[in-house]
Amino acid sequence: MKIGFKGEKLSEKLFLATGILPEMAIMPFFSTVVSNAYLTAQRLDIFSLLEKNSLSVKEVAKKTEADEHGMRVLLEALTGFGYLERQNGKFQVSRAFRKSLDGNMSEMARGMMIFAPDIAKKFENLDKAVKTGEVENFHFTPITPSSWSHYLTFLKGVSKEPTKALVKKVKFDAPPRKMLDIAGGPAQYSIAFCRKYQNLEAIILDLPESAAAGEAEIKKAELEGRISYITGNFFETDWGGDYDFALLSNMLHCLTAEQCQTVIKKTFESLRPGGLIVTNDVDFPGEDEEIQMVAGWSSLLYFTMMGTRTHPTPIIEKWLSDAGFTKIKKTKIENSAQLICRK
Ligand SMILES: C[S@@+](CC[C@H](N)C(=O)[O-])C[C@H]1O[C@@H](n2cnc3c(N)ncnc32)[C@H](O)[C@@H]1O
């Protein structure tokens, strides 16, 4: 998958097919304006305002305490980009954008929309980060006072479909009884596994902010007796032991290569003999293999947010093998790779 221009009219499609347009140079120039318009609208709460109401420029400017001229230009631009529609001088969220916000993937779309301005703020420092290699991990230095709440809404929003797919993908010889969910976030994966396996008890390792959100989710799912947290930095907490199954979903990318190896070794020690470890992260290729758009995109995002990266899947495989895991099997769900193996 690549990002690029998509023609709507036949004449536009034909023009793009000629290849005359220097698309790779023009695309970032155009998308900078589009993405900044979108981020500004989100920061000013324009989308939630125009999702429920059809309003004039004057009314939007008044409600958002903004300048009327600036607001007019922004609303017109968002209309040109397809996010808004204008009728009789009033603006509202377009039918096309409403489809994203109300469709099957609406939780994912809304989660991304909420967290996007926080991500943009971190990207302001990318030059410095690349030059120095130093990045403050947003888990420990929050971007804004609301960024944790935005991040947790994002995590809940984006995990719905992948959670279902992962639970289907992982097969056990016998139903598991004790699961360790390392960096389990707001409990989505533990809840899904506990729903499938009636006698499963899950322990989640995570920071206090994720644990607080997860405890509310566990209560909603009526699984309070079966899922609990060991709260704190998992480099400092006691993980317990004798687990049948350990899940490391979307967490190795939060760590440096050295930290990943420490966590994998510690996971090995925490499992019972024969226990299963499952890693789940964006599939990043080994040296000299083709780097797909999502792999490069995710890695730069994680570097910008935490100073880390998407670790190449063959390297994770080596870390697992070095720690003593055997029978390593790789599976794929969309752009993510799972490595499933045994102690
Ligand atoms: C990207 S989320 C993954 C959540 C979930 N496993 C998933 O697949 O959606 C990363 C999680 O790691 C947690 N985390 C990051 N560093 C941590 C640390 N040092 N100790 C404990 N939790 C940590 C964050 O709080 C967050 O909930």
From 155, 156, 308, give the residue whose CB has the most ligand 1 atoms within 8 Å, as the site to mutate.
Answer: 155
pLDDT score of 163: 95
Q: Which pTM was predicted?
A: 0.94
Distance CA 100, CA 14 (A): 28
C-beta of residue 79 within 8 angstroms of C-beta of residue 91: yes
What is the rounded average pLDDT of the residues 246-270?
A: 98
Backbone angles phi, psi at 273, to 5 degrees: -55, 135
Residues of the chain with pLDDT > 90: what percent?
A: 90
CA of 326 to the centre of ligand 1 (A): 25
pLDDT score of 216: 98
pLDDT at 6 over 90: no
pLDDT at 226 over 90: yes
C-beta of residue 267 within 8 angstroms of C-beta of residue 203: no
CB-based burial of residue 260 (10 Å sphere; 0-12 exposed, 13-18 middle, 19+ buried)?
A: buried
Structure tokens belonging to residue 46? 């324009």
pLDDT in tens, 102-113: 988 899 999 999
pLDDT at 160 over 90: no
Structure tokens belonging to residue 246? 């350990």
For atom 19 of ligand 1, which residue has the closest CA?
233
CA of 186 to the centre of ligand 1 (A): 9
Ranked by mean pLDDT, the top range of 6-20, 24-38, 157-171, 255-269 is: 255-269
CA of 254 to the centre of ligand 1 (A): 7
What is the rounded average pLDDT of the residues 40-65?
A: 96
For atom 4 of ligand 1, which residue has the closest CA?
185
For atom 16 of ligand 1, which residue has the closest CA?
254
Q: Which of 66-70, 106-110, 117-121, 198-202 has the lowest mean pLDDT?
A: 106-110
pLDDT score of 4: 83
pLDDT in tens, 13-45: 898 889 888 888 888 999 999 999 999 999 999
Distance CA 40, CA 267 (A): 43
* pLDDT bucket at 144, cuts 50 / 70 / 90: very high
* pLDDT bucket at 2, cuts 50 / 70 / 90: confident
Domains of the chain by start residue, with CATH: 10-101 (1.10.10.10), 147-342 (3.40.50.150)
pLDDT score of 19: 86
For atom 26 of ligand 1, which residue has the closest CA?
185
What is the rounded average pLDDT of the residues 133-162?
A: 95
Residues framing ligand 1 (Cβ under 6 A): 139, 155, 159, 183-185, 189, 205-207, 210, 233-235, 249-251, 254
pLDDT score of 24: 87
For atom 20 of ligand 1, which residue has the closest CA?
233
pLDDT in tens, 112-129: 999 999 999 999 999 999
pLDDT score of 143: 96
What is the rounded average pLDDT of the residues 180-190?
A: 97
Instruction: Report the 3 state secondary structure along 124-167.
Output: CCHHHHHHHCCCCCCCCCCCCCCHHHHHHHHHHHHHHHHHHHHH
